[in-house]
Homo-oligomer: A and B are copies of this chain.
Amino acid sequence: MQKYDAFADFKEITPSERIDITTHGGRAKCIQRLIRLDLPVPKTLALSFPTVQAIAEGHLPDTEGMMASFGDVPLVSVRPSSQDPDWGGPGAILNIGMNDARHAYMVDTIGQDAANAIYMRFIQAYSVHVARLDPEMFAEDNLSSAEALRDVLRAYEDETDEEFPQDPAQQLGEVLRSMARAWGGTTARLLRQARGAPADAGLGLIVQEMVLGVGGIESGAGVIQFVNKTTGAPQITGRYKRQSQGRDALLANGDAMYLTRDPRGPSLQEQCPSQFQMLQEFGKRCRSFLREEMQIEFTIEAGVLSILDAVRLPRSARAGVRIAVDLAQDSVISKSEALMRVEPRSLSELLHPQVDPDAPRDCLVRGIAASPGAARGRVVFSSLAAQTSAAQGEACILVRRETTPEDIRGMHAASAVLTERGGMTSHAAVIARGLGVPCVVGASDMVFSTKKKTIQLSDGRKLREGDVVTLDGTTGQLLAGEPPMIEAGLDDAFQTLLGWADELRDIKVRANADTPADARSAHRFLADGIGLCRTEHMFFEGDRLTVMREMIFADAPVDRQEALDRLLPMQIADFTALFEIMAGTPVCIRLFDPPLHEFLPNDRAGMRELAEALDLPLSDVERRVKSLSEVNPMLGMRGVRLGVALPEIYDMQARAIFKATIEASKNGDPVVPEIMIPLVSAKREVELVKTRIDAIAAAVRSKLGADFDYKLGVMVETPRAALRAGDIADHAAFLSFGTNDLTQMTYGLSRDDAGRFMNQYVQQKVFAEDPFHILDTEGVGELLMIGSERGKLANPDITLSICGEHGGNPESIAFCRRAGFHYVSCSPFRVPVARLSAAQFVLMDQGMFFGSPY
């Protein structure tokens, strides 16, 4: 009997027996906890990971011994117990031990119908999941029909040429082997690895004595929850179904009871008040001692309540926050534990309205979920139409093939944006996330005709301009009509949790904010300032674009200056507004960055319009547009290169910043603006710009008779700037690593063009992750380390930070804390994620672990 050695380890779960999540799985451990709380749990055996592994490899379990341990002719269930419930596992199999003899006995004791139903369930489950027969042959709704029972038994015999196994020990052995092997299957392995399971994740199994739920008077099964899983507010929910087993109650359509008194039908509270009261008491006991909101599975057999299992209540992100905060406020867990219970990325969901996850969905188009949240509106196909619609107070969804900087006003005006092309890092996606506008990109299964103003759907339907739709940027879907929505969850619990995070975290979180609207979002989400204000977006607004174009077309410096003089008061107003909104927190303004051709029209119609506006021949406009066009705009005449070649632009911006500084300082604390030079690759670039800006500061001080301080720093976006950070730091009060461009240059990969193959690359593990999404710590990260170390060595007082899409990611925050950075800057809607994440890393350093114990 050598083979049984492996099973020395199957054991009954008792309060004192050693049961560990890492050897027996979470379900086994949870059942032990329920037992320790004196909950009425039926007798349960636990099989360890190595035991199940041995079974999968063909060793025979001592199923006779197991069955015998349950006493005389028992029925048992087998359920999986993996280390993390998210990693899945084979479905439960109930009623093992049923056979002809037991059936005959039950007909006498609990009646024909109940006995038939129990035997039928077992035959069905065994045939499909253990014998792997065709499920269609065993589909049968009427469980209690004697005829149906005969049919399925005959079907089993026909298919297998064997009688249905009658030996309970043999039945159990086959069930265990089948479940053990299912765990090793390719599909199951890939599924759980996709959820973060390691390659050698083990499966435990539990064998539990059945509580029948059928037969006797007041028998049935149900599930109870104590808080609302969408909001997290205290509320008893769940269902109870008489004469049922397992989770039947949840699948039932209308014939299950409510748990609490309900006008719509009978309830457990009314029908079984004592059991209901016990469940309530059990719930409280679980919450206090298991320190988590649990969902409890219970069965009543002839009036006697048993607790079969409990799992952590599945919940929405919003409920997760509320539950964690409530547990902490009730002193069940500490504030620190509450912070560790919330997945930072889940907070993004709370900042926007969502489509009700329980609502039916008519999905028209699928794409990449590029900016979370949901919005309704009428379909429009141009930025102009979006602005018109917004002006009329009518919500709209802007649909474009792809967006360009000229669409910014339209994107501002729209409630949501859908594009046919592009990936997570396309213009539409980046801008939408910055604006907090729900967005789906790369919806390539629709055929989009701007001319006909229609969208041809893959299922043959057609959408027309004006049709009402709902865009769900969280799931990447465009939905027909107006499904019910749930509102944003910026409630007290949310604010409380982030308040606790702020008390703990040791790295600042600023926001990338280009406009007063962005700055207000940043301030609302309690950002520690603005880390990146991209001034160029200001020039696309209103009539500024025309002035910009005049500036670009100016042939003589005097004409260029004339245009810049008209932009100056607008920029002063922009900056004054930002300083005032940010109320004393630092504001870092990046000087003009993009190539000038971004401000010029790229189609003939646009050029003709421009020629009219500037009173120039069309050919002049075409020539100028052509002469400014670039082969690789990302690597062209932009950033500090423009600042050196046409210094008047930076001069104007510096003047505006300083005048705004004086203006905004009048009504509050003195503002100390931070001025950032983009796209630097050599120290001398910084020197040239610094010399002019210092001179302008002196001139403004002297002219206006007011004093102010400011900081001048460098955006490190080229690999060379990182390598030469030691030199550059001589003239820089701060270095802010622009990880978007730095990633593009380090990989030699344009994010606008990477969409075509990035998915394939990530799937084939060429890149472990999309480096535009998750900071590449090995390559780009090394440049960050080199740059920050050299910068600090040359200038120990230097302020270090990252800005860009990566800024708010937990991975980036971990990296930046290790590297000794002073702050991260991210889009306003990522600020809460970053605040929580930063606090969690402090707690992890103190030895705490992420998540719930269940």
Interface residues of A (CB under 8 A from B): 630-637, 641, 644-645, 679, 681-682, 684-685, 688, 717-720, 723-724, 741, 744-750, 752-754, 756-757, 760-761, 764-767, 776, 778-780, 782-783
Shortest A620–chain B CB gap in Å is 15
Can you name 23 A-B residue pairings with CB atoms under 8 Å?
A630-B750, A630-B752, A632-B633, A632-B635, A632-B752, A634-B748, A635-B744, A636-B749, A636-B754, A637-B756, A637-B757, A681-B748, A682-B766, A682-B767, A684-B767, A685-B766, A717-B748, A719-B783, A720-B748, A720-B779, A723-B779, A745-B745, A745-B748
Asked whether A747 lies within 8 Å of B720 as measured between CB atoms, the reply is: yes
Asked whether A631 lies within 8 Å of B752 as measured between CB atoms, the reply is: yes
Find the B residue at minimum CB distance from A644: B766
A691 to B166: give the CA distance in the assembly, Å.
54
Shortest A660–chain B CB gap in Å is 29
Contact of A748 among B631, B644, B724, B741 (CB under 8 A): B741
Asked whether A724 lies within 8 Å of B757 as measured between CB atoms, the reply is: no
Q: Which residues of B contact A631 (CB under 8 A)?
A: 633-634, 750, 752-753
Q: Give the most central of A641, A761, A778: most B CB within 10 Å.
A: A641
Find the B residue at minimum CB distance from A595: B753
Task: Given A644-B761, A748-B679, check contact A723 B782 (CB 8 Å).
Answer: yes
Task: Given A637-B757, A688-B764, A748-B718, check contact A724 B679 (CB 8 Å).
Answer: no
A641 to B778: give the CA distance in the assembly, Å.
20
Task: Given A630-B750, A635-B748, A757-B641, check contact A765 B718 (CB 8 Å).
Answer: no
Task: Given A644-B761, A684-B766, A761-B644, check contact A749 B719 (CB 8 Å).
Answer: no
Asked whether A718 lies within 8 Å of B741 as measured between CB atoms, the reply is: no
Q: Which residues of B contact A760 (CB under 8 A)?
A: 644-645
A682 to B748: give the CA distance in the assembly, Å.
11
Q: Which residues of B contact A757 (CB under 8 A)?
A: 637, 641, 644-645
Shortest A755–chain B CB gap in Å is 10
Q: Which residues of B contact A744 (CB under 8 A)?
A: 635
Shortest A480–chain B CB gap in Å is 29
This chain's copy number in the assembly: 2
Q: Which residues of B contact A747 (CB under 8 A)?
A: 681, 718, 720
Task: Given A632-B753, A637-B756, check contact A746 B718 (CB 8 Å).
Answer: yes
Q: Which residues of B contact A779 (CB under 8 A)?
A: 681, 719-720, 723-724
Find the B residue at minimum CB distance from A686: B766
Contact of A753 among B635, B644, B684, B767 (CB under 8 A): B635
Q: Which residues of B contact A723 (CB under 8 A)?
A: 746, 778-779, 782-783
Q: Which residues of B contact A719 (CB under 8 A)?
A: 719, 745-746, 748, 779, 783
Asked whether B764 lies within 8 Å of A644 as measured between CB atoms, the reply is: yes
A633 to B633: give the CA distance in the assembly, Å.
10
Q: Which residues of B contact A645 (CB under 8 A)?
A: 757, 760
Q: Which residues of B contact A685 (CB under 8 A)?
A: 766
A717 to B746: give the CA distance in the assembly, Å.
10
Asked whether B749 lies within 8 Å of A746 as measured between CB atoms, the reply is: no
A761 to B684: give the CA distance in the assembly, Å.
10
Apart from A630-B753, A632-B635, what 17 extra A-B contacts exist at CB < 8 Å? A631-B634, A636-B754, A641-B761, A644-B766, A681-B746, A682-B766, A684-B764, A684-B766, A688-B764, A688-B766, A719-B719, A720-B747, A720-B776, A720-B779, A723-B746, A723-B779, A745-B748
Q: Which residues of B contact A767 (CB under 8 A)?
A: 682, 684
Q: Which residues of B contact A782 (CB under 8 A)?
A: 723
Asked whether B637 lies within 8 Å of A635 as measured between CB atoms, the reply is: no
A811 to B648: give the CA distance in the assembly, Å.
37
Shortest A419–chain B CB gap in Å is 15
Q: Which residues of B contact A753 (CB under 8 A)?
A: 630-633, 635-637
Q: Which residues of B contact A641 (CB under 8 A)?
A: 757, 761
Asked whether B632 lies within 8 Å of A750 as measured between CB atoms, the reply is: yes
Q: Which residues of B contact A633 (CB under 8 A)?
A: 631-632, 753
Shortest A849–chain B CB gap in Å is 31
A362 to B760: give the CA distance in the assembly, Å.
59
A644 to B762: give the CA distance in the assembly, Å.
12
* Chain A to chain B: the 8 pairs with minimum beta-carbon distance, closest first: A635-B750, A632-B750, A636-B753, A718-B748, A720-B779, A631-B752, A719-B719, A632-B634
A720 to B745: give the CA distance in the assembly, Å.
9
Asked whether B778 lies within 8 Å of A724 as measured between CB atoms, the reply is: yes
Asked whether A636 lies within 8 Å of B750 as measured between CB atoms, the reply is: yes
Shortest A34–chain B CB gap in Å is 47
Q: Which residues of B contact A748 (CB under 8 A)?
A: 634-635, 679, 681, 717-720, 741, 745
A765 to B688: give the CA distance in the assembly, Å.
10
Q: Which residues of B contact A754 (CB under 8 A)?
A: 636
A381 to B583: give the CA distance in the assembly, Å.
63
A720 to B644: give the CA distance in the assembly, Å.
29
Shortest A108–chain B CB gap in Å is 67
Q: Which residues of B contact A724 (CB under 8 A)?
A: 778-779
Shortest A20–chain B CB gap in Å is 37
Q: Which residues of B contact A634 (CB under 8 A)?
A: 631-632, 634-635, 748, 750
Q: Which residues of B contact A644 (CB under 8 A)?
A: 757, 760-761, 764, 766
Q: Which residues of B contact A750 (CB under 8 A)?
A: 630-632, 634-636
Shortest A786–chain B CB gap in Å is 9
Shortest A623–chain B CB gap in Å is 12
A780 to B682: give the CA distance in the assembly, Å.
12
Shortest A592–chain B CB gap in Å is 15
Q: Which residues of B contact A679 (CB under 8 A)?
A: 748
Q: Give the most central of A719, A747, A749, A783: most B CB within 10 Å.
A: A719
Asked whether B720 lies within 8 Å of A681 as measured between CB atoms, the reply is: no
Contact of A635 among B682, B718, B749 (CB under 8 A): B749
Find the B residue at minimum CB distance from A640: B766
Q: Give the most central of A635, A765, A778, A782: most B CB within 10 Å.
A: A635
Q: Which residues of B contact A632 (CB under 8 A)?
A: 632-635, 750, 752-753
Find the B residue at minimum CB distance from A632: B750
Find the B residue at minimum CB distance from A719: B719
A645 to B718: give the CA distance in the assembly, Å.
28
Shortest A738–chain B CB gap in Å is 10
A635 to B741: give the CA distance in the assembly, Å.
11
Shortest A504–chain B CB gap in Å is 34
Q: Which residues of B contact A718 (CB under 8 A)?
A: 746-749
Shortest A778–chain B CB gap in Å is 6
Shortest A677–chain B CB gap in Å is 13
A752 to B749: give the CA distance in the assembly, Å.
17
Shortest A425–chain B CB gap in Å is 12
A635 to B717: give the CA distance in the assembly, Å.
15
A780 to B778: give the CA distance in the assembly, Å.
19
A782 to B719: give the CA distance in the assembly, Å.
11
Q: Which residues of B contact A746 (CB under 8 A)?
A: 681, 718-720, 723, 745
Asked whether A684 lies within 8 Å of B765 as measured between CB atoms, the reply is: yes
Q: Give the most central of A631, A717, A760: most B CB within 10 Å.
A: A631
Find the B residue at minimum CB distance from A421: B627
Q: Which residues of B contact A761 (CB under 8 A)?
A: 641, 644
